[in-house]
Structure 1
Amino acid sequence: MTPLLRSTLSVKTPLCALTVALAALTPSLSQAQTKTLYIGMNGGVMEKTWTSHVFPAFEKANNVKVVVVPGTSSEILAKAQANKDKPQMHVMFLDDGVMIRAAGMGLCEKLKPSPALNEIFPTARFKDDIAAGVTMGMTGLAYNKKMFAEKGWAAPTSWLDMADPKFKGKVVFQSMPSSSFGLHGFLMFNRIKGGTEANVEPGFAAWKSSIGPNVLEYIPSSAKLAEMIQNGEAAIAPLTPTSVATLQEKGIAVEYAQPKEGSVVLMVAQCVIANNSEPVLAQKLAEHLLSASAQAAGLEHGNQIPSNPKAPAVGDDAKLKLRQFADYMKTAVVLDWSVINENRPTWNARWNRTIER
């Protein structure tokens, strides 16, 4: 007990003096309280990796608790939009295309200048620093290694392999309205059929006679895919090298294949939510997540490819992942998000009406 509080508890001390003394202590007690920051991001492996290995250093240094609000990019965006006037989150992670939509809605505030922001790849910095990439990746094809070996099938080499009759009832495709993987897969199929982001007619017209008949199930996210591969239900699906590596670490027989037409660049970006209740702390968290130390932990523990090239790769496995990433990037495709975001609501409605009926 402090001398001040001990003296105020003396029976000889007037009640008013005790009240004043306790009031004097209140500011120091409130200052010691731990604040909470809420960050929207994908659940599962990403949430576990950042919660266990990235957030703790920031929490300890700033006397703050970081709590994840899990969800897909579309779900996190919807929550941020619904609470735009009184944000319930402070920072959010979104797939790059969805992040561009969020910025256009005025949901993000500009990132403060920092050494970490200057260190990341130039391609990871959004216009006017309204957001920044945290992890880098691409969507290609994942295939069931055990099933392919048993059937004597060669590894896939093209997005069109999903239309091969031998995969009838064995293709698992993520729903385009809710998943970047599904959107990427459809748009690459559309390109192969002669379309562009400005013209998706070829893709929609050919789907029902090509990939569509082979699809076992349209899933809202990739969370169910591991089970479907293990059960021998899924042969092939759009997925990222990072997700494949994570499944492999769980003992699941799956491999990544880079389509000859190219994979699709997929960057998970962060932004500080505009008008949030802790703007200074939120900016500090965003800076920390771009730092080399934070991203090195993401790579080591969650196969997250860093946007900060100064992040050290710990161990031969991590170094191999970075070399593979660089190789995949040689043929990776960047989509026209300005056109996609303008038309996506219409595409989503058409997809639900004509494909996932």
Structure 2
Amino acid sequence: MKKLLTTVAAGVLAGIPIAGLTSAAHAQETLTVGGYGGSFETLMKELVIPQFEKENDVKVEFVSGNSTENLARLVAQKGNQDLDVVILDDGPMYQADALGFCAPLADGVINADVYDNAQFSDNAVGLGYVATGFTYSTEWFEREGWEPPSSWMDLTDPKYEGLLVVPPISNTYGLHALVMMARLNGGGEDNIDPGFEAMADKVAPNVLVFEPSSGRMSELFQSKEIAISIWGSGRTKSLADTGFPAAFAYPKEGAVALMLAACPVVESNVPEAAQAFVAYMLTPEIQERIADAMGVGPVNAKAEISEDLAAIVPYGPEEVASLVSVDWDVINPHREEWTQRWAREVER
């Protein structure tokens, strides 16, 4: 509404006729989307937004930031949001939805071709799948005569001492590792102690560094300081695209799903455009573009991707169904507590 009032005021000062004011105000309708920076921002600005603007006669502004930053933006601007659509990782999206920042999805936004496990709630929907598992140097493994990693318990294998990286728990990949180690040692999200014990006593001795930065992780592989890490299928693709001999391995107990997700934000000035944008992101054409640029598996069953990409990312109904989901309703209330505990016990 502020944007519209500003346009109208400017028109009055310029002496534009009433008809001209209506046209100018309509042309200035703006949809503000918050999402990831880097390659995702480039994708949005070059391959997604221009077509949407043309088809829907609306201007789109893109605000870049990681999931934590954009969730904090929603919290800080409660009651006066500047975002109309927000794109977050699944964990922060569950938080955003629980805190009441997501508006109900309109009928028809989620089409019949979207996989069931991409449908978060009545207010949010997944845009793409990333699998959390093993990234490893094929060159290193071939030289040593090692088989590709095949189990989450391989994190405890002494041969990886000083050659392994696990992101910290502040990073979703590290959190997934903690949950899976808990599950495989008699616990789970509601009994996390076995996970902490396994990470501290059996995994940490193998870890060179608990690295949160994707850029630094890539450097560690490329400088041949590490042979293996817990990472995402999309990140593995990006590393392989540089020419580095990287491969992704799915643990036999299941790779954990990390999903990109979107929701229309409450109290938007352009609610219809916000709903249309989410629906647009779920079309096969845009799903294919997101998959290719970001290395994520499409949530739309009709999206088609290359064989090379399909070998890395979760693709097709069988692989999508095999992904392991974590219980964010249990995790999120304990996230801060677990983060402090990780610093004391695992990265000590």
Tell me the TM-score normalized by structure 2: 0.87
Q: Which residue is equivalent to 2:145? A: 152
Shift of 1:318: 5.1
Q: How far, CA to CA, are the matches of 1:102 and 1:319 in structure 2?
A: 31
Q: Which residue is equivalent to 1:15? A: none
C-alpha distance 321-347 of structure 1, shift in aligned 2 (>3 A): closer
2:112 equivalent to 1:141: no
Q: Which residue is equivalent to 1:66? A: 60
Q: Which residue is equivalent to 1:189? A: 181
Of 235, 240, 248, which aligns to 2:240? 248
Which residue type is aligned with residue 135 of structure 2? A
Shift of 1:273: 1.3
Q: How far, CA to CA, are the matches of 1:165 and 1:320 in structure 2?
A: 29
- Work out whether residues 296 and 306 of structure 1, in 8 Å CA contact, stay in contact via their aligned partners in 2: yes
Which residue type is aligned with residue 55 of structure 2? A
**How many residue pairs are counted as aligned between the two chains?**
337
- Work out whether residues 129 and 313 of structure 2, in 8 Å CA contact, stay in contact via their aligned partners in 1: no
Q: How far, CA to CA, are the matches of 2:307 and 2:247 in structure 1?
A: 19
Q: Which residue is equivalent to 2:300? A: 308
Shift of 1:32: 6.1
Q: How far, CA to CA, are the matches of 2:217 and 2:111 in structure 1?
A: 34
Alignment of 1:1-357 (within 5 A): 22-24=16-18, 26-28=20-22, 30-31=24-25, 33-114=27-108, 116-127=110-121, 129-177=122-170, 179-311=171-303, 313=304, 315-317=306-308, 326=317, 328-329=319-320, 331-356=322-347
Tell me the TM-score normalized by structure 1: 0.85
Shift of 1:85: 1.8
- Work out whether residues 258 and 328 of structure 1, in 8 Å CA contact, stay in contact via their aligned partners in 2: no
Q: Write the deviation string for residues 36-80 of structure 1: whole angstroms up to 9, x where unpaired.
A: 433222223333333322222102223444343333322221221
**Which 5+ residue runs of structure 1 have no aligned equivalent?**
1-17
- Work out whether residues 226 and 252 of structure 1, in 8 Å CA contact, stay in contact via their aligned partners in 2: no
Q: Write the deviation string for residues 201-237 of structure 1: whole angstroms up to 9, x where unpaired.
A: 1111232221112222222343422222111122211
Q: How far, CA to CA, are the matches of 2:275 and 2:109 in structure 1?
A: 13
Which residue type is aligned with residue 86 of structure 1? N
- Work out whether residues 175 and 221 of structure 1, in 8 Å CA contact, stay in contact via their aligned partners in 2: no
Q: How far, CA to CA, are the matches of 1:223 and 1:276 in structure 2?
A: 35
Q: How far, CA to CA, are the matches of 1:19 and 1:85 in structure 2?
A: 30
C-alpha distance 20-79 of structure 1, shift in aligned 2 (>3 A): closer
Q: How far, CA to CA, are the matches of 1:227 and 1:38 in structure 2?
A: 34
- Percentage identity across aligned positions? 34
Q: How far, CA to CA, are the matches of 2:330 and 2:16 in structure 1?
A: 61
Shift of 1:329: 4.0
* Secondary structure of 2:60's aligned partner: strand
Q: How far, CA to CA, are the matches of 1:47 and 1:209 in structure 2?
A: 40
Shift of 1:130: 0.7
Of 59-68 and 80-89, more deviation after overlay is shown by 59-68
Q: CA RMSD in A?
A: 2.6
Which residue type is aligned with residue 171 of structure 1? L
C-alpha distance 235-157 of structure 1, shift in aligned 2 (>3 A): same
Of 68-77 and 324-333, more deviation after overlay is shown by 324-333
Of 130-139 and 160-169, more deviation after overlay is shown by 160-169
- Work out whether residues 174 and 222 of structure 1, in 8 Å CA contact, stay in contact via their aligned partners in 2: no
Q: How far, CA to CA, are the matches of 1:142 and 1:20 in structure 2?
A: 60
Q: How far, CA to CA, are the matches of 2:183 and 2:342 in structure 1?
A: 17
Q: How far, CA to CA, are the matches of 2:324 and 2:305 in structure 1?
A: 29
- Work out whether residues 244 and 255 of structure 1, in 8 Å CA contact, stay in contact via their aligned partners in 2: yes
- Work out whether residues 40 and 68 of structure 1, in 8 Å CA contact, stay in contact via their aligned partners in 2: yes
Shift of 1:249: 1.9
Q: How far, CA to CA, are the matches of 2:221 and 2:29 in structure 1?
A: 42
